Structure 1
Amino acid sequence: MGFSCVFILLFLSISFHPTHGNSDLIQKTCKNTNYYDLCISSLKSDSTSPKSDTKGLAVIMVKVGISNATATVSYLSTQLSTSTNDTLMKKVMKECAQKYAFASDSLQNSVQDLGAELYDYAYMHVMAAADYPNACKNAFKRYSGLIYPPEIAVREEGLKHICDVAMSIIENLLATN
């Protein structure tokens, strides 16, 4: 009976402390991305990552993208209410907010696809989310005299990098299926 208790305790301690093994999984996963530091910091900042497999890491990264897109929608909405009375600028800002909302929706779809192990669809939705900010930038280009705000450019680049990392992780899932 004593041996079985020791075995159970050993099993439980291994089962509930997978951090080292997962740290290796995070490192291995992030090495296959174009933005290693972003990948590492994003995955390690999530409290569920120690218990995650590759699919779980993909979900975490996609959720980082959702947060980014949602924060950008909030930022743009704030800019709409506090910006000048320039109706053209407001029109373009509103269009940009819609594009980032579409990006967020697309990423939400990706989370659902990952849950259903539909990795090709998950990849497609993340790829679409990465492209929505281009429509925002193009909206500014359509009107002479409007300058693409650097704050939005930084947010665009951030979302594209996050999506790039998520797509790399999903590619790993596609390769193993």
Structure 2
Amino acid sequence: MTMFKPFALFFLILCTFLVVTQSRTIQPNDANLIQQTCKNTPNYALCIQYLNSDPKAPSADIRGLSLIMVNVIKTKATATLNKIRQLLKTSPPSQKGALTSCESKYNTIIVADVAEATEALQKGNPKFAEDGASDADVEQEACEGGFSGNSPLTADNNVMHNVATIARAIIRNLL
């Protein structure tokens, strides 16, 4: 029996050591992942703001952070699409054509680009996800260009540009 006590004590110490060294503190490591990821984007402060506004971000991996940013694209595009529809009701006839074109472009962002990026990330194909984020930026640029310098959507298009380029930069970490 005396031989058993030192073995039991050794086993207890070994188990405790393994639990302590193999466990992970979630918040500091994951906050560090968000910070490191955002450092590789064109706008660190906005990246941090968008990712930290999602409760899933602290426990997300790069793919999860990419999905969060694609969802931000969808949210911002939806808000802009709603604004465009309101503007179409009250805008002067000279802007109706450009607004209608923007409506189509922002609908494409939601229906095609976000769907493409989301599905590609879920299936593990980051190249197509990057294409979806890049296309969202192209769509906002075409929308802005349709107004020949007098766009009521400049601020919204700038937001879409920022969100799309941040999403694209995060997705590129998966390539």
TM-score w.r.t. the length of structure 1 is 0.81
Amino acid at match of 1:74: N
Amino acid at match of 2:170: I
Task: Give CA deviations for 1:24-66 in whole Å, capped at 9, x if unaligned.
Answer: 1001101111100011111111011122001100110111111
Distance 2:156 2:52 in 1: 21
Native 8 Å contact 2:34 2:58 kept in 1: no
Runs of 4+ in 1 over 6 A off after TM superposition: none
Distance 1:29 1:112 in 2: 21
Distance 1:130 1:104 in 2: 12
Distance 2:95 2:39 in 1: 41
Distance 2:85 2:124 in 1: 34
Aligned with residue 54 of structure 1, among 51, 62, 73: 62
1:153 corresponds in structure 2 to 154
1:1-177 map, 5 Å: 18-81=26-89, 83-84=90-91, 86-105=92-111, 106-141=113-148, 147-149=150-152, 152-174=153-175
Question: What's the % identity of the aligned pairs?
Answer: 29
Unaligned runs of 5+ in 2: 1-11
2:147 alignment partner, SS class: helix
Deviation for aligned residue 1:100: 1.1
Task: Give CA deviations for 1:72-110 in whole Å, capped at 9, x if unaligned.
Answer: 0001111112x14x3332232121111111122202210
Amino acid at match of 1:95: S
Amino acid at match of 1:99: K
The aligned length equals 159
Distance 2:94 2:101 in 1: 11
TM-score w.r.t. the length of structure 2 is 0.82
Q: Decide which structure has the larger Cα Rg and report it.
A: 2
Native 8 Å contact 2:69 2:167 kept in 1: yes
Distance 2:123 2:29 in 1: 25
